[in-house]
Structure 1
């Protein structure tokens, strides 16, 4: 993709900047053991961690958002997750160095996630690497969540950068759909969760990164 060089980088959170699968999976698995069901291994939950409650309840109980009991179990999951979301979550290897490099280049960066602010804000506050983020947009910051472009457009406004001069990096198809709709360059983070049956080659992203530091290679693409 040719065009003006990027002026800012935006990232999805879960599966792109942080590995939150251990805490998300544990929150869902507690619901199983509380009901006398056997625990499931983290490996079962990990591929769907990027889908949040939908993914975790799908693995734990075979539920979909259309299931009658989904709403009640989702709130139970949220309460479990809220109590332990900082236990085992950590940034992916290379994220600290990537953010340091962006700061050194004086390139603004931000986070755009579908995670609700009740979870995003404590996570960001507890992660020293995120102190330099110039914009944090959660799933309930705007009236729409991804794959709608509005959260990305809001982040660009907060950064004071034209959306067409932003890169958006994410590990889910809805990240790429949202980024493309916002007019941004999009990068598929293939080191993230990706989903059990994800095929990133169908997402029409502008590129892929197999590790966080590979994002730096896309900062001069004019």
Structure 2
């Protein structure tokens, strides 16, 4: 029986590609490094901002990463207006909430920025937990953030579904023992997602409700 849903945030609930690119680009350029283009961002989508910095500028010293991260958090808020709510995201959350399903967000962005994004679209009240970059030592594709979210919701891992748009989301969910639902609203190539063998692949997040209804009906 599925009792909870753990959502990725970027490109699962919101379209934040340009916000991330602009914030990372501004951060690196302000320190004299090369900027970030879309191709570079797509190559590490679903991983951490540190992975993006390393991919964009391999010469960055590790000791500068914390400074860059703090600057990035500030720059993200400068460009947050570029983020858009994805179609049917609100309707999906409302439908799942009406069924008394517990929900959490697991993201590789900072918890502060994640909450600000959710608040900007009046979505924060749907979630019993938000697990951000700073909340676990290991990040997606590690299962650790999923495990932490399930614990925060008070649910067993077998009672949750993980919804995300990247191969890292699917890998994390499967490693945690959850049902995995890949949604193709992001920029990750579909072949990378399919390599991780998600339980379900959908084109729009609204289909999550149908899948959970089907799964739970089998338990009745």
Distance 2:198 2:123 in 1: 26
Residue of structure 1 equivalent to 2:86 = 92
Runs of 4+ in structure 1 over 6 Å off: 35-41
Shift of residue 80 of structure 1? 5.2
Q: Deviations over 1:98-156 (max 9, x none)?
A: 01111111211111112122322322333302321112111221333222222211211
User: 1:51-66 residue pairs with structure 2 within 5 A?
Assistant: 51-54=47-50, 56-57=52-53, 62-64=56-58
Shift of residue 39 of structure 1? 8.0
TM-score, normalised to structure 1, is: 0.80
Aligned-residue Cα RMSD (Å) equals: 2.9
In the alignment, is residue 29 of structure 1 matched against residue 25 of structure 2?
Answer: yes
C-alpha distance 202-57 of structure 1, shift in aligned 2 (>3 A):
same
Structure 2 regions of 5+ residues with no counterpart? Answer: none
Distance 2:191 2:107 in 1: 19
Residue of structure 2 equivalent to 1:20 = 16
Q: Which of 39, 42, 45 does residue 47 from structure 1 map onto?
A: 42
Higher helix share: 2
Contact 2:6–2:103 (8 Å) recurs in 1: yes
Structure 1 regions of 5+ residues with no counterpart? Answer: none
Q: Which of 135, 148, 152 does residue 154 from structure 1 map onto?
A: 148
Q: Which of 170, 177, 182 does residue 183 from structure 1 map onto?
A: 177
Residue of structure 1 equivalent to 2:6 = 10
TM-score, normalised to structure 2, is: 0.81
Q: Deviations over 1:21-77 (max 9, x none)?
A: 121111233357668999887x54663554453565467xx424xx34466374376
Q: Which of 91, 106, 109 does residue 112 from structure 1 map onto?
A: 106
Shift of residue 174 of structure 1? 1.8
Residue of structure 2 equivalent to 1:101 = 95
Q: Deviations over 1:166-188 (max 9, x none)?
A: 00011122211211121100111
Contact 2:20–2:76 (8 Å) recurs in 1: no
Distance 2:201 2:136 in 1: 27
Contact 1:25–1:45 (8 Å) recurs in 2: no
Contact 1:117–1:140 (8 Å) recurs in 2: yes
Q: Is the partner of 2:147 in helix, strand or coil?
A: helix
